[in-house]
Amino acid sequence: MVDMRKNRKEGASPETDELLFATMHLDLNGATSCRVYRNESMILAVNMSGYQPHLVTERKLEAERQRELLRESLDAGKIRRDEYDRRLRRLKATEISVPVMSIGTKRGPWWTHVRFYQMTDGPKPLGWPIHLLVAYPREEEAELEGGRTYLAEFGVDPRDVSKIPAGTYRVRASAEMKAKTGASQKTTMVESNEVTVELLSEDMPREEASRPERKSQLASYYLRRGRYDEAQILVKDLGTIKGYLIMGELHEIKGNYQEAYDYYTKAEEEFHRRHPDSYEGPEIVASKIVNLLRKWKPEGESQKK
């Protein structure tokens, strides 16, 4: 979170001392505390969003109510126009201006401004070999207003994890953001929560690494890294819902739409085989099929038309 007390202008309303307008949440492999084997991948997920405290909402609603009461008094002839204008100016002077928090430019999209720090014996730059996996939305400038959320995932390959000294690390993410209020603009630093990761000195036990869940997890990582052959080797013979989905995604990326459709259908069939009492398939499978059919039709269906 960013604390606007650090950037308070002289003469600002005391109430603004407590306002927070942006949040950044960090997790590592889906948690804020985890253990990682030296041949396991790591995913640092950063979630940023705008935030409007209840105090701001309450003040806005109260100001709106006061404006309505003033207008009613003016229309009813209870106050003169000059009195109305004077009170309205006083009311506007007490209103809270909520800054729009933004990050990113054409020279550097928003996700390139995220920095990671090691807090264990720091703060100092983390220094791990990190690769961008996912950034959504992909627009250059992120504006954190109106409930908009931005997500970026950064990965460390298993072979790179093995090069990092074993031990316990405390990690934070941060980013310098612009705070725009009307025509004025200033910069402020936004920091995430802290995550703790214990990097083990041993490889994942063979029995654990051979589990379908572990293979799917690593294949999903390689898929996002664009290392498709490595992902396919891991899941091609799994025969699981997740395995079929990843195979479908791999074929869809390569433009093999019929093969992708076949694997998505297998995932749906496997779900119903395991859950015979379920009337509906998993939403993720249905969405994959729907999105595929928006850009491609099975050969038989296209001929019917």
User: 260-271: per-residue pLDDT in tens?
Assistant: 999 999 999 999
pLDDT of residue 15: 42
Point out which residues pair with 185 in neighbouring strands: 180
What is the Cα 253 distance to its own chain's centre? 23
Q: What are the residue ranges spanned by the domains of the chain?
A: 4-51+101-199, 54-93, 206-304
Separation between Cα atoms, residue 224 and residue 216, nearest integer Å: 12
d(CA 89, CA 274): 67
Radius of gyration of the chain (CA): 26
Residue 29 has what pLDDT? 96
Q: What is the side-by-side order of every strand in the sheet holding 22-28? A: 22-28, 42-50, 149-156, 131-136
For residue 273, give the amino acid letter.
R
What per-residue confidence (pLDDT) applies to 55? 56
Assigned architecture for domain 4-51+101-199: Sandwich (2.60)
Beta strands in 14-61 (DSSP E): 22-28, 33-36, 42-50
User: 248, 255 in Cβ contact below 8 A?
Assistant: no
pLDDT digit string, tens, across residues 15-50: 443 445 788 999 999 999 999 999 999 999 999 988
How many CA atoms does the CB half-sphere of 298 hold within 13 Å?
10
User: Of the CATH numbers 1.25.40.10, 1.10.3720.10, 3.40.50.2000, 1.10.10.1590, which one belongs to the domain with range 206-304?
Assistant: 1.25.40.10
Q: Which residues of the chain have pLDDT under 70?
A: 1-20, 51-59, 95-98, 146, 300-305
Write down the pLDDT at residue 145: 76
